Structure 1
Amino acid sequence: MKTTAAVSTGPAQPFTFQELELDDPRPDEILVRVEAVGLCHTDLAMKGMFPDGVAAVLGHEGAGIVERVGSDVTDVRPGDKVILSYASCGACERCTAGHPAYCVRFQQLNASGARADGSPTLTGPDGPVVGSFFGQSSFARYAVTARRNAVVVDPGVDLTLAASFGCGIQTGAGAVVNVLEPGPDSRLAVFGLGGVGMAAIMAAANLDVGQIIGIDLSDSRRATALKTGATHVLDGADPELLTILRELTGGGATHAFDSTAVPAVIRTAAQGLTSLGTLVVVGIGPDVTLDVGDLMSGGKTVRGCIEGDADPQTFIPQLVEWLLKDRFPMPEIVRTFPFSEINEAVAQAKDGSAIKPVLIMDSGATTWH
């Protein structure tokens, strides 16, 4: 069938719209009519991985309505609302242990540009197009994805608000819920208040964490963080930030989260921990130099995390439940754009004016806040 897709043809080129041929779903796949798709910084980073002239369809925070299901799919029906997430094999030791984000085939299934067997899902006039990005390539009006990638959600959920649960929001919230696990007596410092950092704050608020401190360079983002659950906010540019953080927390944060991937910020986050504190980092950036003496003397832990160490089939429904109960204030951070304005959404993501851009497949942009 034909589908209209936003195609990347190089790191410096804007997205252009093309009509492509979309493969029929195979027995274990489903066809989804995309209604909304979040724009993630991973999309922008991967755009830069392809040389000029290579056509690629990105997008990995898709959400929509199931149109068709493969012959082996028995638990999803046409008309179901689904949120699409990352791909995993479901059979390796890590997947069966409940950690599909660390699937041994993660790279192949999510970033190879094709299905696991190498076959394309998308074809253009010049041949196969790089697709199956995170198993979906949802910068398109229709997407074919494996059943395992799709999470059936409550029919009452607004997919515009929930689309980004498949990656960015899951990453921030999952890192707090599944890895850091702070409690009411904890003191959590969140460095970087983009969509991922805001998700960390929202999740912490749902865990009734005692202190939730949002740290960012932007005045407006710090103000938004207070609306999404932060108990305090600090200016990341303050030369006395470390001293202020330690004073505010009575000696240091018990938990910290970094989404900036900025080496100096990560170093500060680690130094701002109290003894036996834990820092989770989720961004990929330059190498970081940490004070090993500080880590050893304080018994501190610094670890990485992919996709919030979350199993989408169980964690996304939790996020949806919080959203439906007005306990996960996505309207404070979502800004929507018509699909046709994807390049404007990219511009606002890059300059920071949009915290969480979401593309919708009809006309008329909406600012939720």
Structure 2
Amino acid sequence: MKATAAVFPATGAPVAFHEVEVAEPRDSEVLVRMTATGICHTDLSVRDGIIPFPLPAVAGHEGAGVVEAAGRAVRTVEPGDKVLLVPPSCGVCGPCGTGHPSLCEVSALRWSGRRLDGTPVLALDGAPLAARFLGQSSFCSHALVEERTVLRAPRDVADTTLAPFGCGVVTGAGAVLRVLRPGPGSSVVVLGAGAVGLSAVMAAAVTAATRIVAVDLVPSRLELARELGATGTINGREAGDLGAAIRELTGGGADFVVETTASTQVLRAALSGLARGGTVGLVGAAAPTEQLALPLVQLVSGAMGLRGVVMGDGSPAFLRALIGLHRQGRLPVDRLVQVYPFERIDAAMADAAGGRTIKPVLTFG
């Protein structure tokens, strides 16, 4: 069938809209008509050549939509179902079998641009087009995905709110609730008040943590962080000594730090504000060549920990719980969203890169 896709033609090049051919669904595949998709900085990193992915390609990995067709072996959804697209997983490797599908060992599901057997799901002018970016490629009017990439969703959640749950929300909220797990009276510092960071703030606000501090450079984002549950904020342009500012607002040091900026400079500055026995969750996706020099004596003598976080260690059950929190009014993801029509994807990406929009979400007419 034919679909309309926003194609990244080459590194740094503007998006080009094309009519593409979508393959027929196989037994384990689901064809989803996209209704909304978020834009994540990971997509921008692919466009700019920071994250390796074969170009030309269709990116996008925060999709929501409606099932149009399902293969004969599909059991969890059927045509007409409203769905959220989620990170891909094989279901049989060690991490998948122990409830950690975001750590799935089959990286080709995320990064190869094709099915596991090497065949394409999209074609442009008869030539294979790289797709299935992080299992989805939702910058297209239709996405052909594996069944494990689809999660049935409640109809009373707006598609524009639902879409970011697939990456930004689950990453930030999962870093707090699934990985760091702050206990009663603990302190949580979030570096960066973008979509991931503010999702971490909202998640921390539903725990028993008593000090929640957001760090950013944009005053309006810090104000929103306070409205979403932060008990204190730090403007990085004004703080001077970031570690000292963190220690002051946390009463001696942060028990947990969620690092979303991917800036080694910010991370190093924040480490001096970590409490003894504290842990940093590394969430931000830096360039593959980025390196970090660590203060080993401080880390060892203070029994401090660094923990990598992949997609918030999310799972279908956890995503359902997050959506449930939103429906209860306790995770107001809609406050992060600004909506753009699909054809304005370049403007939406520019606003995301420039910090003017926290979470751009594209809608399909």
> What is the TM-score of this pair, normalised by structure 1?
0.95
1:173 alignment partner AA: A
> 2:327: which partner in 1?
324
> 5+ unaligned residues in a row in structure 2: which ranges?
none
> 2:228: which partner in 1?
228
Shift of residue 74 of structure 1? Answer: 2.1
> 2:105: which partner in 1?
104
Q: Structure 1 residues 51, 278: closer, same or farther in 2, change over 3 A?
A: closer
Question: 1:287 and 2:299 equivalent?
Answer: no
Q: Secondary structure at the match of 2:345?
A: helix
Contact 2:242 2:270 in 1 (8 A): no
Q: Secondary structure at the match of 2:36?
A: strand
Partner Cα separation in structure 2 for residue 222 and residue 216 of structure 1 = 7
Shift of residue 126 of structure 1? Answer: 4.6
Structure-to-structure mapping, 1:14-163, within 5 angstroms: 14-49=14-49, 54-105=55-106, 107-163=107-163
> 1:345: which partner in 2?
348
Contact 1:10 1:51 in 2 (8 A): no
Shift of residue 53 of structure 1? Answer: 10
Could you give the per-residue CA deviations for residues 182-230 of structure 1, whole angstroms, max 9, x where no partner exists?
1231100000111100110011111142111000111111011112111
Q: Indicate which of 330, 335, 340 corresponds to 2:338.
A: 335
Q: Indicate which of 288, 302, 314 corresponds to 1:310.
A: 314
Contact 1:32 1:142 in 2 (8 A): yes
Q: Secondary structure at the match of 2:84?
A: strand
> 1:365: which partner in 2?
none
Partner Cα separation in structure 2 for residue 69 and residue 330 of structure 1 = 29
Contact 1:66 1:82 in 2 (8 A): yes
Deviation >6 Å, runs of 4+? 50-53
Contact 1:258 1:269 in 2 (8 A): no
Of residues 215-224 and 49-58 in structure 1, the stretch that sits farther from structure 2 once superposed is 49-58
Contact 2:260 2:284 in 1 (8 A): yes
Partner Cα separation in structure 1 for residue 80 and residue 206 of structure 2 = 31
Contact 2:189 2:215 in 1 (8 A): yes
> 1:170: which partner in 2?
170
Partner Cα separation in structure 2 for residue 104 and residue 189 of structure 1 = 30
Partner Cα separation in structure 2 for residue 185 and residue 230 of structure 1 = 14
1:277 alignment partner AA: G
Shift of residue 266 of structure 1? Answer: 0.9
> 2:254: which partner in 1?
253
- What is the percent sequence identity of the aligned residues? 43
2:261 alignment partner AA: T
Partner Cα separation in structure 1 for residue 208 and residue 343 of structure 2 = 40
Of residues 285-294 and 83-92 in structure 1, the stretch that sits farther from structure 2 once superposed is 285-294
Could you give the per-residue CA deviations for residues 145-189 of structure 1, whole angstroms, max 9, x where no partner exists?
111001111121111011011111111110100110012311000
Contact 1:3 1:142 in 2 (8 A): yes
> What is the TM-score of this pair, normalised by structure 2?
0.96
> 2:4: which partner in 1?
4
Contact 2:37 2:62 in 1 (8 A): yes
Contact 1:10 1:53 in 2 (8 A): no
Partner Cα separation in structure 2 for residue 96 and residue 273 of structure 1 = 34
1:75 alignment partner AA: T
Partner Cα separation in structure 2 for residue 9 and residue 331 of structure 1 = 31
Shift of residue 263 of structure 1? Answer: 0.8
Q: Secondary structure at the match of 1:104?
A: coil
Q: Secondary structure at the match of 1:242?
A: helix
Contact 2:54 2:130 in 1 (8 A): no
Q: CA RMSD in A?
A: 1.5
